[in-house]
A and B are shown apart, each in its own frame.
Chain A
Amino acid sequence: MKKLTIIFRRAPHGTAHGREALDLALLSASFEQEVSLIFVDEGVLHLITEQQPELAGAKDYIATFGALDLYDIETVLVCQSSLERFGLADSELTFSVDRVTSASITAQLQAADEVLVF
């Protein structure tokens, strides 16, 4: 078992990066790796409620984030300053997240065996 940290740093829907990051996160968790997620930069936009990706011709993979618990993905960190940059309050986010500072993100990266950036 390895500790994988998967970073979402691009906005959803405009590119396939977020979708393919989530596919890898769930698959590696089902292969019993210890998976953590970090949302930074435009990646925090994945967490906004009431998205309608179908209007952009994209599959609604955002709803699948609700299954993270089922896959035992417990560590989900969100960059506090990125949320502030986009003016996002907790009430606007799909699920309760750990807002963390860049120091916590650094610590998480140092503890990981492998880091994959999408």
Chain B
Amino acid sequence: MSKFIIQVNGAAYPSSASYNAYHFTKSALESGHEVIRVFFYQDGVFNTNGLNSPASDEFDLTRAWVALSEKYQVDLVNCVSAALRRGIISETEAKESHVSHWNMQAPFTMGGLGELVTGLEVADRLVSF
């Protein structure tokens, strides 16, 4: 059994990268591997937007990540600076910046790039999508 850390760089809808990342993560967990955390960097932070509203007959990647995290208690962490640049903002940052709205969905959290680096230090393998 291996310890993985997953890096997601592609946005939820226009790229298949994050869909592939989701299926890799799900399969790894179902096969008994450990996933230390899923780290969203670059356009990957768009996966965490709770306002993503695909049509009812389309795959809802944001909800799929949430369900996966609830089932396996996987940490889903955004790079905070990548997220803020792209308009993904949590309730905490919205309050700190006196912005009236926020869009980051729980249980996604904000973290620093350090969480990627500390994760890959203990992981057997980093897999980027």
Contacts from A to B (Cβ < 8 Å): 1-2, 4, 16-17, 20, 23-24, 27-28, 31, 33, 114, 116-117
Contact between A114 and B126, CB atoms less than 8 A apart: yes
Instruction: Give A27 to B116 CA distance when docked, in angstroms.
Output: 10
Q: Are B81 and A1 interface neighbours, CB within 8 A?
A: no
Distance (whole angstroms) from the CB of A54 to the closest CB of chain B: 17
Contacts known (A2-B120, A31-B118, A114-B126); A23 close to B42, Cβ less than 8 A: no
Complex Cα distance, B48 from A65, in Å, reads 31
Docked complex: B102-129 residues within 8 A CB-CB of A = 112-114, 116-118, 120-121, 125-126, 128
- The answer to whether A27 touches B121, judged by C-beta atoms less than 8 angstroms apart, is no
Tell me, in angstroms, the Cα distance from A23 to B112 when the chains sit together: 11
Chain B contacts to A: CB under 8 angstroms: 7, 41-42, 81-82, 85, 112-114, 116-118, 120-121, 125-126, 128
Q: List 24 A-B contacts (CB under 8 A).
A: A1-B121, A2-B120, A2-B121, A4-B120, A16-B42, A16-B85, A20-B42, A20-B82, A23-B81, A23-B113, A24-B41, A24-B113, A27-B113, A27-B117, A28-B113, A28-B117, A31-B114, A31-B118, A31-B121, A33-B117, A114-B126, A116-B7, A116-B126, A117-B128
> Of all chain B residues, which has the CB nearest A23?
B113
Q: Are A33 and B114 in contact (CB under 8 A)?
A: no
- State the CA gap A20–B86 with chains docked (Å): 13
CB-CB under 8 A for A24 and B121, given A17-B42, A114-B126, A117-B128: no
Interface residue SS majority, chain B = helix
Cβ A33 vs Cβ B121 within 8 A:
yes
Distance in angstroms from B123 CB to nearest chain A CB is: 9
The residue in chain B whose Cβ has the minimal distance to the Cβ of A28 is: B117
Closest 7 pairs between A and B when the two form their complex, measured CB to CB: A27-B113, A31-B117, A114-B126, A28-B117, A20-B42, A2-B121, A24-B113
Among B85, B121, B125, B126: residue with most chain A CB under 10 A: B121
Neighbouring A residues of B125 by C-beta, 8 Å: 114
Residues of A within 8 A of B41 (CB): 20, 24
Measured in the bound complex, the distance between the Cα atoms of B113 and A4 in whole Å is 14
